[in-house]
Chains A and B, each alone.
Chain A
Amino acid sequence: MALAWMPPSLLAQLPVLVVLLPLLAAPLAAMARGARWPWAVATAAAWLAFLSAAALLAVVLEAGPVHYHVGGWEPPWGIALAVDAANALVLLLVSAIAAVVLPYARLSVQKEIGDTRAPLFYAALSLLVAGLLGISASGDAFNVFVFLEISALATYVLVAMGRDRRALTASFQYLVMGTIGATFYLIGIGFLYAMTGTLNMADLAERLPELSDTRTVRSAFAFVVTGICLKLAVFPLHLWLPNAYSFAPSAVTALIAASSTKVALYLLVRMLFGVFGAHFAFVQQPAPALFVALGLVGLLSCSLVAISQRDAKRMLAWSSVAQVGYMVLALGMVSLTGLTAALLHLFNHALMKGALFMALGAVAYRLGGTGPEQLSGLARRMPWTFWALVLGGMSLVGVPLTVGFVSKWYLVLAAIEQGWWPVVAAILLASLMALVYIGRVLQRGWFDAPPPGRPQEAPLSLLLPTWALILANLYFGVDTRLTVGVASRAAAALFGAAP
């Protein structure tokens, strides 16, 4: 076994370590003085969590799903963590993004937030990461709600720290919508508890089928799915997202764009397949039609809005809503390939958007914004940043040898398998719209004359993490064994669990 060098006692603790490390880092970061120590603590925790998640994925791939009872308490009394291929991948993704964004955050935060508020910032960031990891690792529906709130509260704080005063309204808007979402989820869980007497996901999945014909369970389903869709920013519940992404500090945007909606998508998949069961969700309830319709409308309309944006960061925020459309659409196909495509795009889109938002953060660091004036002549002013934008943009469009191509391949393949030709056309049309909006940014950077002033590239501590993600975009675009392998395995397991 590849992890034979690790003591078994440590191996057994991996699921909880992944969540616990950032959670413990939060108070430490808040108590530390200055900006350097809080940053160091948060970064170290993120890296350790990343390494634990990588080890955990290796364990899961080799030995099958891992179950962990926090504090040794058996479910249904204690909190259970349950990690299989699907959430091991999400845990790896979230912790990896955190591990890449945190080194990047030091200078960016210094400039955009200042040293005095840095301890609180890093504490909130660690809480956010802990919350997201907790949602992903948890095998308990109520526990998920707790972590959902932890991550959401941390996000409200982080968004509000943006330089622009509009960040405050954006944060408030998000708070209202996010709270509605969380409340809906909680109501749904309450109904389920009332019917089944359990909150453990595995138990729920066992007891729900015989109760599925009741109005309470159907209402619970509606509340849970709507609540998660709010968090996921599915069209038309996406209105909080563009403002939150545009006005949050650069490092925060990179982190939440790459992880928050992804975790929400994972949660949706888990609730649909792992709790309610595919038969109930997709046959007895009209979820597929809804997902396909909303996915398509969101995909096309939000791509159109993205084209009309002047500010690059805002444009990418709208593009994120559009990309959520891809994932929901793939989910609505209710096929093995469709689910694989959704999970794959979850991973791949995190890589693209993380890289792109980090590149834009570097632009904002040097030039103070991401508007048309800042982007003019970027190719000459900040060539490395510009090329990161080019490659990230190509990935978003779906050019071969990038992760975007792999995603697109599976999305289109899933649609072709269903024989849904108009959907195939819509997916490809949206790719071309991405080409248009990314193309406009690149065109400005390449052709327009830069304003006078000495050219200066972003500092290395911003460039290196950005390029690390860009290279990941290329690497996983060529070597797809990990991503496609885990995604198809997870999809098969999810389908197999509830045929």
Chain B
Amino acid sequence: MSAALAMQLVVVAPLLGAVLVALAGRWPALRDATVLATAIALFLLVLRVATGDAPAGDAFLRVDWLEMLPGLSLALHREPLSLLFALIASGLWVVTSVYAIGYLRATREHRQTRFHACFAVALAATMGVAFAANLLTLFVFYELLTLSTFPLVAHKGDDAAERGGRTYLLVLMGTSIGLLLPAILWTWAVAGSTEFTAGGLLAGRIAPSMATVLLLLYLFGTAKAAVMPVHRWLPAAMVAPTPVSALLHAVAVVKAGVFTLAKVAVYVFGIDFLARLPNGQLAVWIAGFTVVAASVVALRQQNLKRLLAYSTVAQLSYVAMAAMAATPVASAAAAMHIAVHAFGKITLFFAAGAIYVAARKTEVGQLDGIGRRMPWTMAAFAVGALSMIGLPPTAGFVSKWLLLGAAWEAGSGFMLAVLVVSTALNAAYFLPILHRAFLRDEREPQAHGEAPLALVLPLCATALATLLLFAVHGPVLALALGLGGGAP
């Protein structure tokens, strides 16, 4: 199979999987097997895309589907950042499917077929975002991602789910239609193209002062990146079952947001043009403010999943800040942090879900002494937490190092200060949880052990990956550094 064909199948395969899952709904064992098979097939396809030969010259591998509007086609292409994002999302989907099957069965969720089918559609949309060759294609899949994840957020169907789902949909679609769409149209109107082009396509076609406005439209229009004040949907999305929070709201959906920002910065504005924008630092400041503010809010959260959600808001803005800093090292740091945060945060959410399944505990205050009852889960949680803080020997250290390097290269005291303060804040809200779990005694002893194996294995795997990524980060770094030009 050629890499070009595989790249198209990457978008189609999960959709096909969703149909099969829906058809197999009556037989749970067959359905769950289909889910796993789809996830594995998708990962293999993405690997095939990654290993395919580059076309001659330094153009990206590219497939045009059809011309949707005159001069504007739906098209896919392969560049380093899309490979990185697709590999992470599809790889973690395999792990998450195991976890989701175990979680849904253990909690006896209703409508599991709908859940798995929507999940597969969401992954198809994620792959579409990852390989989109222009802003139009990206927007199409971006919206599809919002719509396909809505039934997952509102899965429980009770009042809280209804409220959460409403906030989710209104914020995400409000910003994408209200800000992102005009930004794309504006780009099209001035540049006559929406193709992602190495070196950017806006330079010299738009007045720099207007370009700053356009940049802010992109920054706030891409609400999936959760830059304040358009972050409200992410805590609201925590009403979803934990596998959704783990893969979609720690990896696929939120990363689609920062991924879009990084692509826009590198391939639409171009790093050189971005660096010359008057007041271009405004975007860095907004992202930096979000990092600190979200960390402060996280400090005050009692609910474990909400705490993790605010931590995600903060971590995403690291990526946004790095992408907006507009230097080659900063772009690489942004790409690296997309990968690193994915592994760490999915581990944390997996652990939160395992705690809920085994002990029905959702609040931070209830976790006293739980480390002794669930040693594997909490050990993995500790790894994830250390990665969030950025301590060795976890992957978080690698990206934090790069981020510091980027701040140094940009000569930005502001970025340095944000990194230092937020590291301290991260430690301030993660270390007390570890302290509670391992060093305090249980208040009301409950006889429960670890969660089922289908939950514990995935979270140990992602924790292990977080550790491994510290030691073996070469290939990821190579992709991250390739961002911006040249064939992968």
Residues on A with beta carbons closer than 8 Å to the beta carbon of B69? 406, 409, 480, 484
In the bound complex, how far is the Cα of B140 from the Cα of A478, in angstroms?
A: 11
- Distance to closest chain B CB from A132 (angstroms): 29
Q: Is the CB of A400 within 8 A of B66?
A: no
Residues on A with beta carbons closer than 8 Å to the beta carbon of B173? 397, 432, 435
Considering only residues 164-179 of chain B, those with a C-beta below 8 Å from chain A are: 166, 169-170, 173-174, 177-178
**Which chain B residue has the least Cβ–Cβ distance from A394?**
B147
- Distance to closest chain A CB from B244 (angstroms): 17
Considering only residues 122-165 of chain B, those with a C-beta below 8 Å from chain A are: 139-140, 143-144, 147, 154, 157, 161-162
B185 at the interface (CB under 8 A from A): yes
Q: Is the CB of B185 within 8 A of A435?
A: no
Q: Is the CB of A416 within 8 A of B189?
A: yes
Q: Is the CB of B143 within 8 A of A399?
A: yes
In the bound complex, how far is the Cα of B140 from the Cα of A156, in angstroms?
A: 42
Taken residue by residue from 462 to 496, chain A's Cβ proximity to chain B (1 for < 8 Å, 0 otherwise) reads as: 00000000000000001111001000100000000
In the bound complex, how far is the Cα of B74 from the Cα of A401, in angstroms?
A: 11
Residues on A with beta carbons closer than 8 Å to the beta carbon of B170? 435-436, 439
Q: Is the CB of B177 within 8 A of A432?
A: yes
Q: Is the CB of A400 within 8 A of B144?
A: yes
Taken residue by residue from 446 to 475, chain A's Cβ proximity to chain B (1 for < 8 Å, 0 otherwise) reads as: 110000000000000000000000000000
Q: Is the CB of B174 within 8 A of A432?
A: yes
A408 at the interface (CB under 8 A from B): yes
Q: Is the CB of B178 within 8 A of A432?
A: yes
Q: Is the CB of B185 within 8 A of A447?
A: no
Q: Is the CB of B181 within 8 A of A413?
A: no
In the bound complex, how far is the Cα of B140 from the Cα of A446, in angstroms?
A: 24
- Distance to closest chain B CB from A333 (angstroms): 14
B188 at the interface (CB under 8 A from A): yes
Q: Is the CB of B169 within 8 A of A429?
A: no
Chain B: how many interface residues by the 8 Å CB criterion?
A: 28
Interface residue tally on A, bucketed by range? 20 to 34
Residues on A with beta carbons closer than 8 Å to the beta carbon of B185? 409, 412-413, 416
Q: Is the CB of A484 within 8 A of B177?
A: no
B408 at the interface (CB under 8 A from A): no
Residues on B with beta carbons closer than 8 Å to the beta carbon of A447? 154, 157, 161-162
Taken residue by residue from 281 to 296, chain B's Cβ proximity to chain A (1 for < 8 Å, 0 otherwise) reads as: 0000000000000000
The answer to whether residues A480 and B147 also contact, given A416-B189, A432-B178 and a CB cut-off of 8 A, is no
Residues on A with beta carbons closer than 8 Å to the beta carbon of B174? 432, 435
A242 at the interface (CB under 8 A from B): no
Q: Is the CB of A400 within 8 A of B139?
A: yes
Residues on B with beta carbons closer than 8 Å to the beta carbon of A436? 170
A398 at the interface (CB under 8 A from B): yes
B421 at the interface (CB under 8 A from A): no
The answer to whether residues A439 and B182 also contact, given A398-B177, A478-B68, A480-B68 and a CB cut-off of 8 A, is no
Q: Is the CB of B178 within 8 A of A428?
A: yes
A213 at the interface (CB under 8 A from B): no
Residues on B with beta carbons closer than 8 Å to the beta carbon of A435? 169-170, 173-174, 177
Starting from the known contacts A409-B69, A484-B69, 13 additional A-B residue pairs (CB-CB under 8 Å) come to A400-B139, A401-B140, A428-B178, A429-B178, A431-B177, A435-B169, A435-B174, A439-B166, A439-B170, A447-B157, A480-B68, A480-B69, A488-B70
User: Would you list the 8 A-B pairs with minimal beta carbon distance, nearest first?
Assistant: A400-B140, A416-B189, A428-B178, A447-B162, A412-B185, A400-B143, A431-B177, A432-B174
- Residue pairs across A and B with Cβ atoms less than 8 A apart, 16 shown, are A398-B177, A400-B139, A400-B143, A401-B144, A412-B181, A412-B185, A413-B185, A413-B188, A428-B177, A428-B181, A428-B182, A432-B173, A435-B170, A478-B68, A480-B69, A488-B70
Interface residues of A (CB under 8 A from B): 394, 397-401, 406, 408-409, 412-413, 416-417, 424, 428-429, 431-432, 435-436, 439, 443, 446-447, 478-481, 484, 488
